Amino acid sequence: MKSFTQESLRIIKKASEDNKLVIVVGAGVSMLSNFPSWKEVIDRFSGPFSEQKERYSQNEYLRIPQKYYNLRGHKEYYDLLRDIFDLDLQSNKIHDEILNLNPIHLITTNYDDLLEQAIYARGLFYDVIAKDEEVSQTRTKKFLIKMHGDVKHQNVVLKENDYLSYSSQFRLIETMVKSIIASNITLFIGYSLNDRNMKLILNWVKELQGSSFQPVYLLYLEQTLDQNNFDYYKSQGIHVIDVNHLLSNVDDATYEQRYLTFFQALSKLNLDELYRYSSDDNELGERLTPLDELNRVRLNDLRHLIKEEVTEMGVLNLSKPYVLDERTCWQLNKAGIRTVKFPDGSVHSIQNDDKNYLLPPYTSVLTECMNQGDGIWQHYHRAYYQFKHGNLLLAYDLYKKTAVEAFKCKHYLLHFLAQFNRYWTGRTIQRLLSSEQSQQIVDEIRQLNLELMYHHLPASFKRKYAFLADLSNFYFIYKYLNDMIQLINELPNQDQAFARLNFKAQELFEFMHENQLVIDQYLEVSHLYKSYIEARLYHNSEELDSFTVHLIIKYMGEEELKHLMKRLNRKQFQTPHVNELILYYKQLLAVLTQPNLTTLMKVHVQKMVKITLALLSVIQLKEEELLSMLQLLFNDGSSMILITDCLNFLRAQLNQSSQFPKAVENLIEEQLTHQFIKKYLLNEEIESCYIQFTSFLSQPVEKLRPLIDLYLTQIDSFELVTLTPVIDEELQMKVSEALTRRLKKEFNFKLLRQAFEFKLELAYDEFEQQIKAHITHHPKDLCAVGELIACGVLDRNSFEFFMNQDSCAYFLTHYEQIEQAPLESDWFWQLSRDIHQRLAKTHHYQAIKQALIQKIRTKVAAPELIDLYFDLYHH
Encode 173-226 in three state secondary structure.
HHHHHHHHHHCCEEEEECCCCCCHHHHHHHHHHHHHHHHHCCCEEEEECCCCCC
Outline where 46-92 has alpha helix (H).
58-85
Largest CA distance in the chain: 147
pLDDT of residue 570 exceeding 50:
yes
Outline where 681-832 has alpha helix (H).
705-710, 717-722, 729-745, 749-757, 768-777, 782-790, 800-803, 807-814
Length of the chain, please? 875
Contacts of 487 (CB under 8 A, 6+ apart): 497, 500, 501, 504
- Phi/psi region, residue 457 (left: phi>0; alpha: psi -120 to 50; beta: rest), is beta
pLDDT of residue 636 exceeding 70:
no
DSSP 357: T
Mean pLDDT is lowest, of 349-358, 502-511, 727-736, for 349-358
* The predicted structure's pLDDT at residue 754: 92
pLDDT band at 813 (very low <50, low <70, confident <90, very high): very high
- 191/204 Cα distance (integer angstroms): 17
Encode pLDDT of 712-721 as tens digits.
999 999 999 9
- Phi/psi region, residue 51 (left: phi>0; alpha: psi -120 to 50; beta: rest), is beta
DSSP lists the bridge partners of residue 144 as 106, 128
- 482/436 Cα distance (integer angstroms): 38
pLDDT of residue 275 exceeding 50:
no
- 859/855 Cα distance (integer angstroms): 6
- 74/65 Cα distance (integer angstroms): 11
pLDDT band at 511 (very low <50, low <70, confident <90, very high): very high
DSSP 102: -
User: Which has the closest alpha carbon to 108: 10, 159, 215, 180?
Assistant: 180
- 608/588 Cα distance (integer angstroms): 8
State mean pLDDT over 714-736.
90
pLDDT, mean over the chain: 88
- 334/293 Cα distance (integer angstroms): 10
Encode pLDDT of 136-160 as tens digits.
888 888 999 999 998 888 999 998 8
pLDDT band at 277 (very low <50, low <70, confident <90, very high): very low
* The predicted structure's pLDDT at residue 278: 44
Q: 3-class DSSP state for residue 2?
A: helix
- Residue 27 contacts residue 38 (beta carbons within 8 Å): yes
- 579/627 Cα distance (integer angstroms): 12
- Residue 37 contacts residue 31 (beta carbons within 8 Å): yes
- 638/547 Cα distance (integer angstroms): 27
- Residue 105 contacts residue 145 (beta carbons within 8 Å): yes
What's the order of all strands across the beta sheet hosting 339-341? 309-310, 315-317, 339-341, 347-349
State mean pLDDT over 92-98.
94
Encode pLDDT of 446-474 as tens digits.
999 999 899 888 878 888 899 999 998 88
* The predicted structure's pLDDT at residue 858: 86
Question: Of 353 and 331, which is predicted with more confidence?
Answer: 331
- 142/730 Cα distance (integer angstroms): 99
* The predicted structure's pLDDT at residue 360: 63
State mean pLDDT over 415-420.
96
By CB atoms closer than 10 A (0-12, 13-18, 19+), residue 292 is exposed
Contacts of 843 (CB under 8 A, 6+ apart): none
**CATH class for the domain made up of 2-35+92-268:** alpha beta
State mean pLDDT over 787-794.
91
DSSP 542: S
Angle subtended at Cα 601 by Cα 599 and Cα 604, rounded to the nearest 5 degrees: 110
DSSP 873: I
Contacts of 231 (CB under 8 A, 6+ apart): none
* The predicted structure's pLDDT at residue 141: 83
State mean pLDDT over 305-326.
89
DSSP 258: H
pLDDT of residue 558 exceeding 50:
yes
Q: At how many degrees (to 10) do helices 623-633 and 662-680 cross?
A: 10
State mean pLDDT over 9-13.
91
Encode pLDDT of 665-690 as tens digits.
999 999 999 999 988 888 888 888 89
Question: Of 143 and 372, which is predicted with more confidence?
Answer: 143
pLDDT of residue 849 exceeding 60:
yes
- Residue 550 contacts residue 608 (beta carbons within 8 Å): no
- 678/639 Cα distance (integer angstroms): 14
* The predicted structure's pLDDT at residue 469: 92
CA dihedral angle for residue 843, residue 846, residue 847, residue 851, rounded to 10 degrees = 150
- 25/178 Cα distance (integer angstroms): 16
State mean pLDDT over 562-578.
87
Q: 3-class DSSP state for residue 338?
A: coil
- Residue 251 contacts residue 204 (beta carbons within 8 Å): no
